[in-house]
Structure 1
Amino acid sequence: MAALAIDGVSAFALGGIGRGFADRSHLGLPALDYVVCAEVPGMVQTDLGMPLQVVHGLDRLTEADLVVVLPTETVIPRLSPKVAAALHAAHQREAIIVTFCTGSYVLADAGLLDGRRATTHWSLTDDFAARFPKVSVAPQALYIDEGSLITGAGGAAGIDLCLHLLRREHGATVANAIAREMVASSLREGDHAQYPDRPVPDIGEEPVTTVIDWLHANLDKATSINDLAARALMSERTFARRFKAATGTTPYSWLLTQRLHRAAELLETTDLPIEEIAHRVGYNTVSTFRDQFIKRHGIPPRNYRQKFSGNVPRAAMGTQAESRPDPPLRYPSRHDVAVTRCA
Structure 2
Amino acid sequence: MIAKSLAAAAFALLPLAAQAQHAELPTDPAADWSVATSEHRVAVEGGKVWARVNGVIGEGATPVIMIHGGPGGTHLNFGNLISLADQRPVILYDQLDSGMSDHPENPANWKPERFVAELEAIRKELGVERWHVIGHSWGSALALEYAAAYPQHTASAVLSGTFISTPHWITGTNLLIRELPDDVAAAIRACEGPNPPAAVVCEPATAAFYSAFNGRPDRPAPSPEARAYRNRYGGKGFNATVYNAMWGPTEFRASGPLATYDATHLLPRVDGSRVMYVVGQYDEARIDTVQDFVALTPGAELAVVPGGSHAYISERPEVAEAIYRDWMNRIDAREKAE
TM-score scaled by length of structure 2: 0.32
RCO comparison, higher one (Cα < 8 Å, 6+): 2
In our comparison, the structure showing a higher alpha carbon Rg is 1
TM-score scaled by length of structure 1: 0.31
